[in-house]
């Protein structure tokens, strides 16, 4: 019985549920997936070490008739031990902080400014209760269907007509808050061909759950045709 309980979490792991953020289809989402996996394994080193020590000590110091009068040595003020448990966590935090800060700053959306001149394909995204409007540089507009070319930098200009929404395509990138009265510019680097699900990731009203869209990544030539057709 006890063993059966231990197996349950592993069955969940083996069941193969699809987690979109762990199947990145753009460089942007790839960096995010790297951070998730990297911090997971770094934490697993800590969790593993703690559990091994815990189990060892449970057995080593368990109560027996022999150890009835055992009194452990007082280790107060042990400089070596104290230095170890200060320096090790600090090192771990530094190792975790370096890629986290680098990627977070690189991916942070910026406010408008001269972002129109940025190299790449620009799409003007307007969110509203409860839909997404995508306008391309040619003037082509489509609702709830984001069409972008593969292999390029996609520069999204995000704004909202009403309340705060959040742009998220788990396979490609996000989440980015979409604010009324303010344009945020977010870049998705090098998306791969395919059709992905997008959604609003910020509760924005009763129909929030229906605020979904499709993201279609197609070839550059197909995109050229798409934006110039009516
Ligand atoms: Cu919304």
Q: Which domains does the chain have, with CATH numbers?
A: 2-107 (1.10.287.90), 111-228 (2.60.40.420)
Residue 169 in this model has a pLDDT that exceeds 90 = yes
CA of 160 to the centre of ligand 1 (A): 9
pLDDT in tens, 134-162: 999 999 999 999 999 999 999 999 999 99
Cβ-count burial 181-197 (b if 16+ within 10 Å, e if not):
eebbbbbbbbbbeeebe
Sequence-distant (≥ 6) Cβ neighbours of residue 20 within 8 angstroms = 170, 171, 196, 197
CA of 4 to the centre of ligand 1 (A): 42
CA of 16 to the centre of ligand 1 (A): 29
CA of 209 to the centre of ligand 1 (A): 8
Query: How many angstroms separate the CA atoms of 165 and 54, rounded?
Result: 45
Mean pLDDT rounded to a whole number for the chain: 91
Residue 31 in 3-state DSSP? helix
Neighbouring CB atoms inside 10 A of 152's CB total: 17
CA of 208 to the centre of ligand 1 (A): 5
Give the residue among 194, 201, 153 at the shortest CA–CA distance from 171. Answer: 194
Residue 171: phi and psi, rounded to 5, are -75, -25
Query: How many angstroms separate the CA atoms of 223 and 147, rounded?
Result: 7
pLDDT in tens, 195-220: 999 999 999 999 999 999 999 999 99
Structure tokens at 140: 């082509």
CA of 212 to the centre of ligand 1 (A): 9
CA of 13 to the centre of ligand 1 (A): 31
CA of 128 to the centre of ligand 1 (A): 7
């Amino acid at each position: 019985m006890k063993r059966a309980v231990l197996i349950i979490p592993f069955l969940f792991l083996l069941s193969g549920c699809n987690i979109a953020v762990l199947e990145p289809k753009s460089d942007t989402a790839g960096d995010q997936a790297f951070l998730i996996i990297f911090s997971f394994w770094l934490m697993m080193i800590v969790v593993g070490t703690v559990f091994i020590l815990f189990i060892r000590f449970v057995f080593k110091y368990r109560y027996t008739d022999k150890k009835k009068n055992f009194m452990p040595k007082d280790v107060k003020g042990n400089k070596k031990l104290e230095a170890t448990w200060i320096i090790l966590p600090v090192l771990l935090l530094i190792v975790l902080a370096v890629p986290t800060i680098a990627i977070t700053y690189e991916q942070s959306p910026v406010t408008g400014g001269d972002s129109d001149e940025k190299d790449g394909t620009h799409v003007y995204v307007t969110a509203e209760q409860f839909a997404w409007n995508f306008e391309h540089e040619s003037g082509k507009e489509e609702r709830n269907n984001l069409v972008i070319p593969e292999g390029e930098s996609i520069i999204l200009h995000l704004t909202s007509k009403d309340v705060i929404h959040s742009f998220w395509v788990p396979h490609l990138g996000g989440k980015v808050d979409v604010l009324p009265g303010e344009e945020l510019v977010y870049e998705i680097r090098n998306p791969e061909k395919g059709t992905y699900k997008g959604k609003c990731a910020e509760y924005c009203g009763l129909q929030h759950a229906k605020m979904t869209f499709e993201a279609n990544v197609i070839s550059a030539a197909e995109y050229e045709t798409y934006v110039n057709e009516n």
